[in-house]
Amino acid sequence: MSMNGVPAAGSPKKDLRIPALRRFALAITILNTLGHTVLGFETSLAQLCVALGTAYGTEILIELIASWSERRRPTFLTGRVAAFDFMLPSHITGLALSMLLYGGDRLLPFAFASVIAITSKTLFVAPIKGRVRHFLNPSNTGIAATVFFFPWVAVAPPYHFTENLFGGWDWALPALIVCTGSLLNTKLTKKIPLILSWVGAFIAQAIVRHQFSDTWLAASLAPITGVGFLLFTFYMVSDPGTTPSTRRGQIIFGISLASVYAVLMALHIQYQLFFALFLVCATRGVILHAVARGWVVGRQKIEAGPIPASTATPAAEEQARPLAV
């Protein structure tokens, strides 16, 4: 970058993380607003406030501890814009958890999910070229941990997003999610190969299970038509901070996710989408550590993380920072 603010020749590419975060935060805020006023979300406003407030508080507390240990000023105290952008990941996480979990009239599960989601970004990290990045999708980790430790908590039911919609609006909402999600992942996150490989592999595993078991093909493919599946696909699976950046790595990640989903389905385990994503992200984290320690040796182009440790550039690292969905 030159002194006058104009990018110099050979300067790093523009960091797309903040624009993506802002657009994602706006989209999920609008969806939650509509959900509690028009769509008929089952979760209460109290549960939304608990999830959101806990996410905010946990994020701030971790930053205070980190800044104290590193003897620096907390990021959220360095300016209004910096504070706004700093809170975007926890804002997205809190809204996602309140939207995707159903706990009856209980508040504790939402607080628990938010704490797990935010702290997972600090506890579960992997080294990439001397720096650390979290490898577990925060929102997904919070959901998976909550339904595992609280068996009476469920994922939001399918009708949750369209209960009060009729006629053409039943098609309009999914179409809007597909369009906005495609635009976001094409222009900013660059995760279209991952999305296409995941959806394609999902369809393939449904056909395979239909051919070799007594599953009904239409029922196996039915999740694709749901709003929950679309949100999971376009706004959770595509998190750039916890998925590979190369096309080859994205394709492998998407196929792996569908394969693990199929195995969990065969084992009759509930909430397969969220557990499958957790297992694939966790496995990727193990691979990242193995590569960094020299336990795994492969070709230079092998994708072991959001950026291969041996070929990462500062510009690529900036672009690969997580959305922290």
Which has the higher per-residue pLDDT, 173 or 277? 277
pLDDT at 320 over 80: no
Nearest to 243 by CA among 162, 166, 319, 152: 319
pLDDT at 102 over 90: yes
What backbone phi and psi angles, to 5 degrees, belong to 133?
A: -135, 145
In the numeric block, the tokens 């941990």 are attached to: 145
Is residue 137 in some structural domain? Answer: yes
What backbone phi and psi angles, to 5 degrees, belong to 219?
A: -70, -35
Tell me 57's DSSP state. Answer: H
Average pLDDT over residues 72-97: 94
- pTM for the whole structure: 0.84
Are the CB atoms for 273 and 202 separated by under 8 Å? no
pLDDT in tens, 212-260: 888 889 999 999 988 889 999 999 999 988 999 899 999 999 999 999 9
Is residue 85 in some structural domain? Answer: yes
The fraction of the chain above a pLDDT of 70, given in percent, is 85
Is residue 289 in some structural domain? Answer: yes
Is residue 7 in some structural domain? Answer: no
In the numeric block, the tokens 């960094």 are attached to: 292
> What is the predicted pLDDT for the residue at 143?
97
pLDDT at 83 over 90: yes
Nearest to 257 by CA among 181, 185, 205, 321: 205
286 lies in which domain range? 17-307
> What is the predicted pLDDT for the residue at 316?
37
3-state secondary structure labels for all residues of 257-271? HHHHHHHHHHCCCCC
CA torsion, ordered 203, 206, 212, 217, to nearest 10 deg:
-110
The H or E element containing residue 7 is none
Are the CB atoms for 76 and 83 separated by under 8 Å? yes
- Hey, what amino acid is at 259? S
131-134 vs 125-128, strand pairing mode: antiparallel
Nearest to 200 by CA among 179, 216, 221: 221
* Interhelix angle 80-100/45-70, nearest 10 degrees: 140
Distance CA 18, CA 99 (A): 23
Is residue 288 in some structural domain? Answer: yes
The radius of gyration computed from the CA coordinates of the chain, to the nearest angstrom, equals: 20
Is residue 294 in some structural domain? Answer: yes
> What is the predicted pLDDT for the residue at 130?
67
Is residue 318 in some structural domain? Answer: no
Domains contained in the chain, number: 1
pLDDT at 127 over 90: no
